[in-house]
Structure 1
Amino acid sequence: KIIELVCMYVCMQSFANTGALVTCVKNFPESRGVVLGLLKGFVGLSGAIFTQLYYAIYGGEDSKSLVLLIAWLPAVVSILFVHTIRIIPYPRGRHAAETTSPFYCFLYISIALATYLMVVIVVENQVAFSHAEYSVGAAVLVVLLFLPLAVVVKQEVRSSKQEDGVDRSSSSNPPNGPPLTSIAIVEKTSAEEEEEPRKRSCVTNMFSPPARGDDYSILQALVSVDMIVLFVATICGVGGTLTAIDNMGQIGQSLGYPTRSINTFVSLVSIWNYAGRVAAGFASEFLLAKYKFPRPLVLTFVLLLACVGHLLIAFGVPQSLYAASIIIGFCFGAQWPLLFAIISEVFGLKYYSTLYNFGSVASPIGSYILNVRITGHLYDREAAKESDGLAGVVGKDTTCMGVHCFKLSFIIISAVTVVGALVSLILVWRTRKFYKRDIYAKFRDSPPTVDIVENNSNSNGVVGESVNGVEEKCVAENNGVNGVRLIRE
């Protein structure tokens, strides 16, 4: 029963995460890397945030209270802010550039939050805090968490003033005349006109995907070579880094690190996880916008960097576990915004919520293969060897001690991660032309419109009269046949 309830809870939390993240990506498609980096960055900090709130509210003495906190706090936050999660009209042209400045304010606030948490974690491992001191620390934490609301309110007030100014300075209707109607001319090719009457089966469509960047169907994306390549690379990369994070405490113990040091770098993994998510989101977006640097190639570099951390663990370089924890935490976090941004760019946003969660499945698959089947099995085998050698010694447990405990496991993980990097290069090659062009142009460009004066006396269509010295005529029967669509303003 308990396991079933936990699984149900995890499912509900994933649903809330999907709703917030997918909505934000659709609202800001030209800044999706930045949006993903920020949102996934806060997710990376969530563990440390919950810990501080738990200490402040319940004192950190009762484990049942932690379960209670996890039960009621996310529910309260979701109820309070659920109405803010909605699709809003995307600002084009001049206003699109203005939407990026608040993201940098969010970045600075998140950096301050991460720095504060890092300092608090280090101090708590050195000094015993009272309940009152935990409460004061949590109060500062809550202020930093709600500080982005001030940025949002300020931006909304500024946008409202700008829109009011535009509305007062210009009007779309001529004085003493009928209202204007915009017509967007949508040209259709003969191939598209012939295709429309024919209804093709799902199986036929599944193997006839559109061009990269257009909206794939779910089946078209799942059987795409691009998705398969990306999925395999993610299994190799995320699976390896997640294995290292899950076993970080046991790795430190086997290498002879003191308990306090183990607690410190295990706690700080979440901070570096945040740093990787934010850095990958902002850096990949900057490189893509300025240099047309493909996002899959950034993923390749992240996977190769992760190999360095795995090899440091495998060979037990003295005092290197601190550096290894930083590298692995950073690389684990960096892979997520890159994965989700690539999926949204290559396969479109129409079914992004489903494809986003499909990409997330790579994490449990990689963790099961590399963590359970390989690392767990090899560690138990090494521990069993030590247990046989200590047979008859009273008070000895079966914990494995020494570099050899995880050496073979992380050599294998390093090799698998290199394979993942090589596989990701296939995606780099396949999408090289796609990323060389302006992949966000369709979010900035709108169909050409012609302002005409509606003649209400003509029931069969709309006849354009002279507007701005230009006479336009068109017939729009049934609101859009023959490639003409009316857009009433």
Structure 2
Amino acid sequence: MLILFVSTFCGLGCSLTAVDNLGQIGESLGYPQRMISTFVSLVSIWNYFGRVFSGFVSEKLFLKWKIPRTLMMTFSLILPCIGDLLIAFPFPGSVYIASLLIGFSYGVQLTLLFIIISELFGLKYYSTLFNCGQLASPLGSYILNVRIVGKLYDREALKQLTRRGMTRSMVHELTCIGKDCYRLSFLILAGVNLFGALVSLILVMRTREYYRTDIYKRFRDEMEANEKEVMMMKTIDDASDKKQSS
């Protein structure tokens, strides 16, 4: 669970950070407001496709070739690295591709996280583990967005103010324009995503034998045990009702 938490912290934290900054990224690179709105829409659309893809395709790959779902999680952590690099080293239209990759991988990661938790740990403590997994997302977003990307953006904006001979008190809001505004930030995010992918590979190695077995047998056994328990309780209730009636 700790390995899964760390990889989720890296993956979902980086994706949320990128999504939260898409508006300012578009502004700093000189995109018109209409195009900036398109970036946000693309993230939402491909986030949906990522959720559908991860559930359907991962199930097909597992049933046909016993490919671990954790390996698909690794893939979904490598994919946004490309999107981060497209923002760090932009060219015309690169943010469109980046928003597609980041939105898609975010949907894949979010869906796979909860599937993997249920498959590895069962349903007995699912609600607790579910919320532990969810915690990685806002925690990663806060540290990466507020403590790293936000500070680096402000630092670059202050440099631009100094070059124009102005001070912070002269402007109401810091605004950075140019390719350098997010270059270092997204190089760091690409590195964090790659680190998360490497961590998730540990989970792949630890679970590959498990995914070669019939992982659904445990759930069938649990369902059968629950059905037997219900039938037993019903039999006891019926016997009790007969005694009371007699």
What TM-score results when the alignment is normalised by the length of structure 2?
0.86
CA offsets, 1:198-239, max 9 Å, x none?
Answer: xxxxxxxxxxxxxxxxxxxxxxxxxxxxx0000000001111
Change (3 A) 1:406 1:257: same
8 A Cα contact 1:387 1:397, kept in partner: no
Which amino acid letter does the alignment assign opposite residue 30 of structure 2? Answer: G
Q: 1:431: which partner in 2?
A: 207
- More helix, by proportion: 2
Matched, 1:276 2:50: yes
- C-alpha change, 1:283 and 1:378, in structure 2 (3 Å) is same
CA contact (8 A) 1:315 1:407 kept: yes
Post-superposition shift, 1:392?
5.2
Q: What is the root-mean-square deviation of aligned Cα atoms in Å?
A: 2.3
Q: Judge conservation of contact 1:276–1:331 (CA < 8 Å) in 2.
A: yes
| 1:341 aligned onto 2:115 | yes
Q: Of 215, 218, 238, which residue of structure 2 is paired with 1:442?
A: 218
Instruction: From 83, 90, 93, give the equivalent of 1:319.
Output: 93
Report the Cα distance in structure 1 between the residues aligned to 2:220 and 2:138, rounded to whole angstroms.
Answer: 37
In 1, Cα distance between equivalents of 2:54 and 2:109: 8
- Say yes or no: does 1:379 pair with 2:153: yes
Question: How far, CA to CA, are the matches of 2:218 and 2:161 in structure 1?
Answer: 64
CA displacement at 1:403 relative to structure 2: 0.8
1:290 aligns with 2:64: yes
**1:134-174 CA-partner distances (Å, limit 9, x unpaired):** xxxxxxxxxxxxxxxxxxxxxxxxxxxxxxxxxxxxxxxxx
Query: Shift of the alpha carbon at 1:262?
Result: 0.7
Describe the SS at the equivalent of 1:361.
helix
Structure 1 stretches of 4+ moved >6 Å? 393-397
Larger Rg: 1
| 1:16-165 equivalences in 2 (<5 Å) | none
1:442, distance to aligned residue in structure 2 (A)? 3.1
**1:417 lines up with 2:232 in the alignment:** no
Question: Counterparts of 1:358 and 1:321 in 2: how far apart (Å)?
Answer: 32
The change in CA–CA distance for 1:434 and 1:259 in structure 2 (over 3 A counts) is: same
Indicate which of 13, 18, 35 corresponds to 1:261: 35
Question: Match of 2:182, SS?
Answer: helix
CA distance in 2, matches of 1:442, 1:377: 48
Q: Distance in 1 between matches of 2:84 and 2:9?
A: 15
Equivalent residue pairs, number:
227
Amino acid paired to 1:237: G
The equivalent of 1:248 in structure 2 is: 22
Deviation at 1:395, TM superposition (A): 8.5
Contact 1:316 1:403 in 2 (8 A): yes
Residues 248 and 266 in structure 1, CA contact (< 8 A), matched pair in contact too:
yes
Quote how far apart the aligned CAs of 1:385 are: 0.4
1:166-189 residue CA offsets vs partner (Å, 9 max, x unmatched): xxxxxxxxxxxxxxxxxxxxxxxx
For residues 397 and 389 of structure 1, the distance between their equivalents in structure 2, rounded to whole angstroms, comes to 17
| Whole-angstrom CA distance in 2 between matches of 1:338 and 1:367 | 19
Give distance in 2, aligned partners of 1:315 and 1:402. 11
Long gaps (5+) in structure 1: 1-226, 448-484
Q: Percent sequence identity over matched residues?
A: 60
In 1, distance between residues paired with 2:193 and 2:120? 23
Deviations 1:274-311 (A, max 9, x none): 11111111111121122211011000001011101011
Q: CA deviation at 1:443?
A: 3.4
Distance in 2 separating the partners of 1:238 and 1:395: 34
- Pick 1 or 2: higher relative contact order, CA cutoff 8 A, min separation 6: 2
The match for 2:6 among 224, 227, 232 is 232
Q: Distance in 2 between matches of 1:359 and 1:397?
A: 35
Check conservation: 1:386, 1:398, Cα contact below 8 A: no
SS of the residue aligned with 1:272? helix
1:398 and 1:438 map into 2 onto residues whose CA distance is 56
Shift of the alpha carbon at 1:268?
2.6
Shift of the 362–251 alpha-carbon distance from structure 1 to 2, 3 Å rule, reads same
Structure 2: gaps spanning 5 or more residues: 226-231, 239-246
